[in-house]
Structure 1
């Protein structure tokens, strides 16, 4: 028997909304026959696509045989719709999420949930007072590499964790002699662009979930490429940060250092990697892989610049096995949220959790402007 959940999906004409949320999550759930919940029942999502560009949204809807509209009010007025999903650009989310809350729909949305903390907290308050369920996409904690890393942490592999070092990014072409590989709004502060607002929201929940809550931040944001070319081939001033260098103190005394950059060329195995060092062992985790080195297997290098290094350091790390089948991280969280809507199962990644990411980004930008370390207060609903 099908437990049908109507889902308005707004923003699927964007790359992430289309590929990860529609195709690899909601449609993949339908292709597998729904989400089993026992007694022969399955949760069955029924998506309705919403977009401002009629040509684009119609083309996607026709390709996958789905209903569509350009009128969000019309979609939200449908009593068969239970959930509103939003993957629009950040600056548009406040208005549409408020509208969906007022319509009594459960909320699931991308992050950042808002361009500023006050708005993010207000959305969390409104949803809570309305009694609707609400969730924020926090996909990276469901990545295979980070799931294996969390397994090592929970199993006590590291002993006392000392530090976390993260490297994320790749080169985003300026657009003059190579086509741009990210939308131009990402590099305009007036359009809520910038790598701090984009990525610190991720680092907040990754650090909090695996290691501990960030209690302080010291950051330096930079705009290394001052001019870029937009989708129309026109030069524009890049007013948002394209790189950020952050140091975070975590509850328990762990120090995390994360570099985020759209102006770096990749010389590592994956686009993001975290190295964790502890008294009993270390590990390096990326999107999919995780490798570890225990204290008992740690070599004893000697600094000698006059001869080649006698160690092949990479070969001395052990691959952490999967020991499980890992599904797409976006799909995994979609399944958890839909179970939360239908069965009221436990859920922790709500709009208040999303506001914590916005808070860290806001404090990171302020830290960069003021050149000092800032405390990260505990958040409560207003």
Structure 2
């Protein structure tokens, strides 16, 4: 086997997602398994180059994971992009910094892989897709949730015709994010400042766009209500600040084909679910409830006849009437799985559809969701093209 090294500049690895999911659980995990077998006698060996503003933090990460704290660390993004040995630029920075960095990376001829949202507005997101296409570089956007076990099982049901005609999708996502006064918040304070690119609509609607698009059909209209339930929070220094971005959003989406999706997203809700996110899909032939890992079904032939009687207690468990969907295979980390597909796309030119235009659809839905909430009306979602 021949080892082929691919140099990946990773900007934003001092953040939670960039470090845990992309560096440790994806690229370093690939190295631990001996690299990515391309199936043609070559093994692809990812070599991360950690990029950011805090050199000490970057060096500490490099030393912790056996990377070179000098050769594999840089605080000079421009120098990294000018380095001909760098093949791919990855971005997990805050949204406000992403557009400029991606534009520079495309101009430098680097392949692009990025977290979402890809930009702070639709025009900029579409322009990034145009620039990448014109430059002839490969480009991809992280769409991790469709690679999770629960949604992979759900996709298997959709493709197998289990549901018949799909009628509706109902999603519940969220958890309580501590305000930061008496307990430290689990999310950074910029998430709650609109001027810094924060807000749950910008954060989560791009996820809902690709989940709905990939599994059930393109979103054709949106009606949303975004709100700030917790108006004051405390930052990382323990100082109070005004939450200028919404912390909850309630959306109704009409899908291509006629199905209706309703998804609630909240950082001000206490969890009474099996998982932090769950989707219930109802169809003429059956229903399913899927989370991040599990998926349960109830077929038409096994649907009980519930009787509404408020004067008598329920005598059975409604959850117990559902059947668990079997694993039928091994599921790897969703982020790692998509990284592997993108690397194969770059090196082998294998098919790939999760590109910057797909990322722009997520920005579009977030932008229209906020507009819908502000104007109090339903808005159509135009189809994007370059």
TM-score with structure 2 setting the length: 0.98
Is 1:308 the counterpart of 2:296 in the alignment?
Answer: no
**Partner residue of 2:278 out of 269, 273, 276:** 273
Is 1:219 the counterpart of 2:224 in the alignment?
Answer: yes
Is 1:379 the counterpart of 2:384 in the alignment?
Answer: yes
Is 1:156 the counterpart of 2:161 in the alignment?
Answer: yes
Is 1:239 the counterpart of 2:237 in the alignment?
Answer: no
- 2:300 is matched with which residue? 295
Q: CA deviation at 1:55?
A: 1.6
Is 1:10 the counterpart of 2:15 in the alignment?
Answer: no
Is 1:80 the counterpart of 2:85 in the alignment?
Answer: yes
- 1:38 is matched with which residue? 39
Aligned positions, number = 381
Q: CA deviation at 1:52?
A: 0.4
Partner-residue secondary structure (3-state), 2:370: helix
Partner-residue secondary structure (3-state), 2:87: strand
Cα distance in structure 1, aligned partners of 2:331 and 2:251? 30
- Give the alignment's Cα RMSD to 1 decimal: 0.6
Cα distance in structure 1, aligned partners of 2:357 and 2:3? 31
Q: CA deviation at 1:97?
A: 0.6
- 2:107 is matched with which residue? 102
Partner deviation per Cα, 1:211-266 (whole Å, 9 max, x = no partner): 00000000000000000000011000000000000000000000000000000000
The more displaced of 246-255 and 57-66 is 57-66
Partner deviation per Cα, 1:27-55 (whole Å, 9 max, x = no partner): 00111111111232111111100010112
Q: Which runs of 4+ in 1 moved over 3 A?
A: none
**Partner residue of 2:367 out of 357, 362, 370:** 362
Map 1:93-242; keep pairs closer than 5 Å. 93-242=98-247
Cα distance in structure 1, aligned partners of 2:353 and 2:52? 29
Is 1:347 the counterpart of 2:347 in the alignment?
Answer: no
Task: Note the residue ranges of structure 2 that are not aligned, 5 or more in a row.
Answer: none
Cα distance in structure 2, aligned partners of 1:64 and 1:51? 17
Cα distance in structure 2, aligned partners of 1:279 and 1:361? 30
Whether contact under 8 Å (2:151, 2:293) holds in the other structure is: yes
Partner-residue secondary structure (3-state), 2:49: strand
Q: CA deviation at 1:65?
A: 2.5
Partner deviation per Cα, 1:159-191 (whole Å, 9 max, x = no partner): 110000000000000011111110000000000
Cα distance in structure 2, aligned partners of 1:226 and 1:95? 31
Cα distance in structure 1, aligned partners of 2:23 and 2:105? 19
TM-score with structure 1 setting the length: 0.99
Cα distance in structure 2, aligned partners of 1:11 and 1:141? 23
Q: CA deviation at 1:58?
A: 1.3
Task: Note the residue ranges of structure 1 that are not aligned, 5 or more in a row.
Answer: none
Whether contact under 8 Å (2:55, 2:73) holds in the other structure is: no
